Amino acid sequence: MKALVLMGSPRKGGNTAALLAPFCEELRAGGAEVETIWLYDRDIRPCLACLRCQEDWTVFGCGQRDDGQVLFDKVLESDLIVLATPIYAWYCTPPVKALLDRLVYGMNKFYGRKKGPSLWQGKAMALLMTCGYRPEKGCDLFEEGMRRYCKHSGLWYLGSHAERHLGYDVLFMDADKENRTRAFARELLGAV
């Protein structure tokens, strides 16, 4: 299995990175090939809704010259797409949102003169999140948005795992969080 982690945190030593480490270790231990792409290191421009991507149903087709094409190719090569993001203001970070907007058009050829295919239909997606509120109140809007996104795109939504940070003066990572995160990775291995 090829797993692609699209990392949406701006902090390489932050909470989401701390959660991602045991998650990826567990996937690799289960035989998965894992690649992590730090989206803040990439040039991901917002979608312009020009619909140029709808002209050719076999390619990404975006007119913008940034890292969109590279990320599109990486997604198509993957069996499992994991969005790893801190939740700020009840939703993912800006580069994750920008990429999701670009992919919904570039992967789904639904919006042109004729309705085309979903190029990524059947791929699996999961969420790994950190937040400052209880996850059921802090991550629920993003998770619901991604459920709908997956259904619309023909993706197989496998679920989410979120951990809460109680404040900057409190250690984030502990053994319980690590164990729950590893268990989620094992669930994904069993599902894909």
pLDDT confidence bin for 168, thresholds 50/70/90: confident
Contacts 24+ apart (CB under 8 A), 169-178: 172/15, 172/18, 172/130, 173/15, 173/18, 173/19, 177/19, 178/22
What is the per-residue DSSP string for 123-142?
-EEEEEEEESS-HHHHTHHH
- Domains in the chain: boundaries: 2-191
The second-level CATH assignment, the architecture, of 2-191 is 3-Layer(aba) Sandwich (3.40)
The pair of structure tokens assigned to 80 is 């499992």
Residues linked to residue 177 through DSSP beta bridges, in sequence order:
none
% of the chain exceeding 90 in pLDDT: 96
Residues linked to residue 129 through DSSP beta bridges, in sequence order:
85, 162
Query: Which residue is listed with tokens 């993912």?
Result: 92
Compute the residue count for the chain: 192
pLDDT confidence bin for 169, thresholds 50/70/90: confident
pLDDT digits (tens, 9 = 90+) for 36-82: 999 999 999 999 999 999 999 999 999 999 999 999 999 999 999 99
Distances in Å between the Cα of 182 and the Cα atoms of 21, 75, 76, 93 are 10, 23, 25, 24
Q: What is the pTM of this model?
A: 0.96
